[in-house]
Structure 1
Amino acid sequence: MRPRTAFAVFKFGAPLIIVVLVACYVVYYLFEPHLHVDLVFYDRQWINAEIKPITRLGGCFDPAHVSPLYNLSEAVYGKKKNEVQAGVPMRMGMDCYAFAGTITDLDDGISHTYIPPDERAQFHTYWRVDLAPLGERQEFMLKSFFATQNIPRSRLILWSNGDLSTNAIVQKYLKLFPDSFTLRVVDIPELAKGTAMDGHKLLDLTDKKAWVDGDLVRLLVIWTYGGAWIDMDMLMTRDLAPLLEHEFVTQWDCYDKVYQALNGALMHFRKRSPYLCEAFHLMANSTPPRSPSTDWGAILYLRLWRRLLLESIPPFKILPFCLSDPLACRLDNSVPDPFIPDRADGRWADAPKGQGVEEGGRLEWALDKIFTVHLHNRWDKNFPKGGWVERLLLKKYDAKLKKQIGRDEF
């Protein structure tokens, strides 16, 4: 470059760069920028065929078709003590955690009378034994359940596609909680009997991530037995009882994903719920799910939700993101990454003393109000020693369980 040309570039370029930098600083000082990148490509042909059209429901809510095991008046139209649906994303500050605190425990005047296992609140989870062995990381979910739920009134059913009865971890909990923990092997064709998926050619679909078959198992199990579904990659922080007066799925995160706004990692429906009956009708009469995909999960729930609205049927509830998945929002109000050491930055850690990630701080305050922490698999990662998961959750589980059983098993 000739000297005269270089001088001209510097003469006009340098002031321009300075002006741009000053302008950026002024904009940043006066305004709060927000950037959320979520680039997903959806096939237009699939959207036009499966998402946009709203077909009629299958008639499951017709009084003549509702199962006598399901009380339509109570479940759908009955008065509830707690409101669990906020109606707005609650992206700002601690709004979602504060909302979780409005959900109060039910004062139902229970007695100490023994409740048979089949009559207790039923909770379900699932582990595919062909994908990975059940080990310490999976045990954390079991610990969290027995440390946070009302055990004399609850039963956890661990479903699998193979025999788990010889697993040492499973045997320990079967021995400690014989009336509150049991095992079942999934028989999908048997569970599907009496539904629109009965004998369907798609019942044997599986994928290496256990998405399609896992989503199917969720719905079939709850349809057959009723109760709450809890994914194995969750840590529970609070008794779920106050949520169970509602039938619900959860918000995927605090952002408005057009087609994947809902999640079934934590969900609850009653036995023979017409909501699930309609879900099976939709599954049986739609294009087969892509593999792996959430076509029988998030996308199915949204498609069903829109059809319920069109026919003026009150839809199932949608729990705000932080109640089950506090990792899924903005950097300033998501709980810290559980798999990295605590750091002195962010809303949780750089707050004044008594408001951070230490015991009694803001993070513990939030964890006490929400119900689960969804870890989104990541089974190959370990919690850092001395991190907030160990201090604020795992150690509490151990202490609570030792107190419950009266001896040092943990």
Structure 2
Amino acid sequence: MSLRRNYEQMRLPLWTTRTHTRPLPRLLATLLKVALPAFVLGLVLALTVWDPHVELAFYSRSWVRQQVRPVPPLAGCFAPARVSPLYNATDALYAPHRTTVHAGMPLRLGMDCYNFAGLIHPPEDVAGYRPPDERLQYHTYWRTDLVPFGERQEWMLKSFFATQNLNVSRLVLWSNGDLSNNAFVQQHLQRYPDAFTSRVADVATLSAGTALEGAGSLWVEDGKAWVDGDLLRLLVLWQDGGVWVDMDSLLTRDLRPLVEHEFVTQWDCYDKVYVPFNGALMHFRQHSPYLCEAFHIMASSPAPRKGSTDWGATLYLKLWRRLTAAGVPPFSVLPFCFADGRSCRLDNRLPDPFAPDPRGGAWTDGMGRERGGGLDQALGKVFSVHLHNQWEKAFPPDGWVHRLLLSRYEQRLGGE
């Protein structure tokens, strides 16, 4: 027994010593010195071989299950007896189109989207004068209680006057307060009395006769003017018909070739499952049954969440799915670059409008940013540049926006 006890006493210190003097920290440090550089090198090598596309978005499963997945039936707005006499269903839904706006693919690669936009030819010249109410109506909206209407907002007006045919087009500036005495607005009201007007938005009046009439959700607002802006665009197009253009846009081409279609736009060049559509640029005819169905969806759904796209992208998706399930031709969807070329891959999205041009001035694949260069040619094919509400930012005085857009607006308007 004593021999065993002595043996165990001899082993314990040896075992303990070996256990506590293992060079684990030194081993980990060595591994990190080798593994970390190897990982970084492997990642760099992988990026030279592979072209990764990673986009993370998180959606509540209960929201998707309740608000997106179901496809209830239409409300019957397309029934012949319910279609307004102001809406020519045969012409709108089934007449052949001269222009094609459905590409049939996402158009993510290179200049594919811009080249496709270039296939749409300018409209034929329209001679003569049309009274203001008989013209193609364009609509936009500004909330006077958020930011004062100033020079940045005026650029959207100038882009309209510089790119659209003012003999056959009229822009209506809607707001929640009277802007007719604003200095930036007033000068254009005086200069273009038949092509420009301002109106105060009254949602109660605009919603009369729709499924939203008298609904409490008509007065929901948020600090971004998303919910109320999404509502107003549908109400004014229902009442007057025409083209909606978000105020944070700069028009680049005459939009008339597009208006044989009723359309919204693609959100970006990626396939966003639950928010594939955007309403920054859209067109619907007066008393369109598409809008009638949209109002029924809005009236039968929970009130929109503030700062959400519940009455925008999500609503358009619900409507599109119900239309196709009912066998009704859906509205058209313009490819992303027609109105929002900033939302795609790093190698083909429009450059940041608020960043100075880099040294060398190239855009993508060596395409220049000078007048007549690759960027200028792309802008001549698309129809609008969406700026995404970055009102606090200024355009660099030497940037491509000034050079290729703003200076041309001034040149064209000064030469009238």
Per-residue CA deviations over 1:183-220 (Å, capped at 9, x if unaligned) read: 11111111111111111121111111111111110000
| Structure-1-length-normalised TM-score | 0.92
Task: Give the SS at the match of 2:94.
Answer: coil
| Structure-2-length-normalised TM-score | 0.91
Shift of 1:128: 0.9
Partner of 2:377: 365
Query: Could you tell me which of 86, 96, 103 is aligned with 1:86?
Result: 103
Per-residue CA deviations over 1:34-86 (Å, capped at 9, x if unaligned) read: 2333333x222222221111111010011111111101110011111110121
Shift of 1:258: 1.4
Partner of 1:28: 47
Partner of 1:204: 219
CA contact (8 A) 2:242 2:285 kept: yes
Q: Which moved more, 1:8-17 or 1:295-304?
A: 8-17
Partner of 1:114: 129
Residue 188 of structure 2 is aligned to residue 170 of structure 1? no
CA contact (8 A) 2:204 2:214 kept: yes
CA contact (8 A) 2:348 2:364 kept: no
Partner of 2:230: 215
Residue 155 of structure 2 is aligned to residue 132 of structure 1? no
CA contact (8 A) 1:333 1:347 kept: no
Partner of 2:55: 37
CA contact (8 A) 1:69 1:272 kept: yes
Measure the CA separation in 2 of the matches of 1:288 and 1:318.
Answer: 26
Letter in 2 for 1:39: A
Partner of 1:230: 245
Change (3 A) 1:22 1:125: closer
Partner of 2:195: 180
Residue 345 of structure 2 is aligned to residue 330 of structure 1? yes
Measure the CA separation in 2 of the matches of 1:19 and 1:38.
Answer: 27
CA contact (8 A) 2:267 2:277 kept: yes
Task: Give the SS at the match of 1:228.
Answer: strand
Structure 1: which 5+ residue stretches go unaligned? 405-410
Structure exhibiting the larger radius of gyration computed from Cα positions: 2
Shift of 1:24: 3.5
Partner of 1:402: 414
Per-residue CA deviations over 1:98-149 (Å, capped at 9, x if unaligned) read: 1100111233x63x22210000000000111111110000000000000000
Q: Which moved more, 1:251-260 or 1:261-270?
A: 251-260
Query: Could you tell me which of 350, 360, 374 is aligned with 2:386?
Result: 374
Task: Give the SS at the match of 1:395.
Answer: helix
Measure the CA separation in 2 of the matches of 1:84 and 1:240.
Answer: 12
Shift of 1:12: 5.9
Measure the CA separation in 1 of the matches of 2:215 and 2:27.
Answer: 74
Residue 297 of structure 2 is aligned to residue 282 of structure 1? yes
Partner of 2:114: 97
CA contact (8 A) 1:152 1:180 kept: yes
Letter in 1 for 2:51: P
Measure the CA separation in 2 of the matches of 1:33 and 1:291.
Answer: 37
How do 1:236-385 residues align onto structure 2 when only pairs under 5 Å count?
236-344=251-359, 348=363, 351=366, 355-385=367-397
Measure the CA separation in 2 of the matches of 1:106 and 1:97.
Answer: 18
Letter in 1 for 2:121: T
CA contact (8 A) 1:124 1:229 kept: yes
CA contact (8 A) 1:156 1:181 kept: yes
Residue 70 of structure 2 is aligned to residue 53 of structure 1? yes
Percent same amino acid at aligned positions?
55
Structure 2: which 5+ residue stretches go unaligned? 1-19
Measure the CA separation in 2 of the matches of 1:9 and 1:158.
Answer: 66
Measure the CA separation in 2 of the matches of 1:76 and 1:300.
Answer: 21
- How many residue pairs match? The answer is 397
Q: Which moved more, 1:133-142 or 1:17-26?
A: 17-26
Change (3 A) 1:205 1:5: closer
Letter in 2 for 1:124: H
- RMSD over equivalenced CA pairs, Å: 2.0
